[in-house]
Chain A
């Protein structure tokens, strides 16, 4: 990527900024005013739309990070590493949002802030795994080795996280399955009405576009940080 195109914010990104702001406002409006109140759980069920959307974004970007890891190992180019880091940071933030909203919802629905449900534990472990990724990167000076180790670690993480889920799933699960067929023993499940489904789909769209916009910003930040580093090396070299 040429250095001049970095200095100015791309046109498309500006459009995306505005678009994601509008979509997020729209999603908030739909969650509070369009979606009906759930009969049993009441207001707290409205968390569901953002909970599912943030889970979706974090899963999607973390899978993309693992794919970028494979791409990097095949073709070691710096840009893949910048994208992968951006994906993982974003995935961490969204995973955190997901666990937090889930915990707030679980207090009235399951009568506890925390439970050892497979999905809950898996998401928490996922956060720990990717925090360790950040620590690993911090500990390595050489940028190429850092990128290589990051790529390998992202792939390993993408393999272990599903295994964690299955290993804990052997226990019974409490988590409701709202989409698709649910386990009758799950607590806090409900049937979605049509406006609820619309709201969920709209939040998924809004979160996806907002997530992509953030990702792009983070990638740009990565490029700019690199450029600053290069300029500093140049200045120090003189």
Chain B
């Protein structure tokens, strides 16, 4: 168990270190999110009240697209440099690679969220001082990354990988998005926990089932 955790930690640290040197991925995700915020703000030219009502939907759509960008790179970059073989040869459990990659993706997604949330607060007139909203962001991103890493590992081995991932991921991640939007919307509009409870339950269930499936299946996906 200790070696499993340390393997996860090693992979997470490796991915963060690699990203810290190039800063390509997070920068691209950040610029993308800022662009999408602007595009939404211009195309949905609406009054303040409606803007506030749709804020949660815009928030999660943007994060989901940005997350897809990040997920696309997670295993593709390993493949390009040929380091995936090295990773697979390492004497660790394959599922540790899955969890390490999932946590790295979660980390990048959370970094992007932390940097862009103030922008949302300004443009969509949201209050950020809500622990409930942070919880939803953490849970929803975890769910999204846990299924996304699994599907990205499959898509990376297919012919049109960058095109394939969104098509595979978005319908699968729909329950996460619907529940996360519902829960965030409840917190943003100050409705409190009882309105978000059912959606949070869905997120918790999804966030437990998907990693469990990833734990079981990741071996089959990278098997050579």
Counted as pairs of residues, one from A and one from B, with CB atoms less than 8 Å apart, the total is 86
Give the contacts of A135-172 with B (CB-CB under 8 A). Answer: 135-136, 138-141, 145, 148-149, 151-153, 155-157, 159-160, 163-164, 166-168, 170
Interface of B is mostly: helix
The answer for the CA separation of A167 and B198 in the assembled complex, in Å, is 8
The answer for the CA separation of A168 and B175 in the assembled complex, in Å, is 8
Chain B's closest residue to A118 (CB) is B178
Interface string of A1-18 (1 = CB under 8 A from B): 000000000000000000
Residues of A in contact (CB 8 Å), total 28
A167 near B171: Cβ-Cβ < 8 Å: no
| Neighbouring B residues of A170 by C-beta, 8 Å | 179, 182, 198-199, 202
Interface of A is mostly: helix
| Neighbouring B residues of A166 by C-beta, 8 Å | 175, 202
B168 near A153: Cβ-Cβ < 8 Å: yes
Among listed B10-18, B62-70, B205-213, interface-contacting one = B205-213
Q: Which residues of A contact B (CB under 8 A)?
A: 73, 125, 128-129, 132, 135-136, 138-141, 145, 148-149, 151-153, 155-157, 159-160, 163-164, 166-168, 170
| Given A73-B220, A148-B223, A155-B213, 4 new contacts (CB under 8 A) | A132-B172, A138-B159, A139-B155, A163-B206
Q: Which residues of B contact A (CB under 8 A)?
A: 147, 150-151, 154-155, 157-161, 164, 167-168, 171-172, 174-175, 178-179, 182, 198-199, 202, 205-206, 209-210, 213, 217, 220-221, 223
